[in-house]
Structure 1
């Protein structure tokens, strides 16, 4: 009989490249945020000078770190789950639960992406800007939200694909044994 089919490596390479980029962007955002805050605190406490926009930039970076960080966390399988319950399930039940989780997560991502684009559209049409020295058009930092959710959806799809391929290969291996 034929060997179980594994997922195409080219797809895994593209998803891995996306993961590497997201992880790097989130890491750089953390470093930039820390540097901005430390610089602002030092300047305020020593010479009484404030840039006046650091809090705004840090807020945008927190959003970026949150949405990109959840992508990294999901990809590393580090999201919270009730392991006590999950561990008691059979292998097939775990795979089915994983697929159900992926479907529900994708549905939630879809709804959030849909409404995030409404928010962005509204901010763009109204010309909404931040109330700081930067006067940032708010649709620009708001783009982080659907970007992070779309990337998360890609990672969820990849996870579901891998679980389905694992289930198929297990079924093929079971058929070979019989």
Structure 2
């Protein structure tokens, strides 16, 4: 992406032309990187949390709160996975391409989003499993 931006700068300043696809590729890259980073960010607990409620709970109630939050995340993430997956399949079978000069098959960037949501769901299910096991063995 860096080299593409440098190429674009050189083409625009020196030759008064462009590759005409830089903004499209940067958009794909930003969206893909954001979704692919979701799972690891969730695992490292680096997502923004509203701790005003959570800090006032006892350890047991905090565990229930996290369990509920993980369940809500898994439901919303599963819905997102379903709809992005449907879109990827539709784009693949229809052969949908972007309207730019590059004619990028749309299932490729959306497929990266789907992989990112899948990794996020795996991390949420991992956290859900850990919280349930802590509840069962009562280590709170």
Taking structure 2 as the reference length, the TM-score comes to 0.86
Match of 1:62 among 8, 27, 30: 30
Structure 1 residue 107, shift from structure 2 partner: 0.8
Match of 2:74 among 101, 106, 109: 106
Count matched residues. Answer: 140
- The Cα offsets for residues 130-164 of structure 1, whole Å up to 9 and x where unpaired, read as 11222111112111122111100000111122223
Query: Is the contact made by 2:39 and 2:119 (CA closer than 8 Å) also made in structure 1?
Result: yes
Structure 1 residue 68, shift from structure 2 partner: 1.2
Larger radius of gyration: 1
- 1:164 aligned residue: 132
Does residue 155 (structure 1) correspond to residue 123 (structure 2)? The answer is yes
Q: Partner of 2:127: helix, strand, or coil? A: helix
Match of 1:116 among 84, 87, 92: 84
Q: Any unmatched runs of 5+ in structure 1? A: 1-31
Q: Any unmatched runs of 5+ in structure 2? A: none
- 2:51 aligned residue: 83
- 1:36 aligned residue: 4
Match of 1:130 among 83, 86, 98: 98
Query: Is the contact made by 2:67 and 2:128 (CA closer than 8 Å) also made in structure 1?
Result: yes
Indicate the RMSD between aligned Cα atoms, in angstroms: 2.0
Match of 2:109 among 125, 130, 141: 141
Structure 1 residue 99, shift from structure 2 partner: 0.9
Call closer, same or farther: CA 1:164–1:43 in 2, change over 3 Å: same
Q: Partner of 2:17: helix, strand, or coil? A: coil
Q: Aligned partners of 1:42 and 1:85: how far apart in 2?
A: 53
Call closer, same or farther: CA 1:124–1:89 in 2, change over 3 Å: same
- 1:96 aligned residue: 64
Q: Aligned partners of 2:4 and 2:23: how far apart in 1?
A: 9
Structure 1 residue 88, shift from structure 2 partner: 0.6
Q: Partner of 1:128: helix, strand, or coil? A: coil
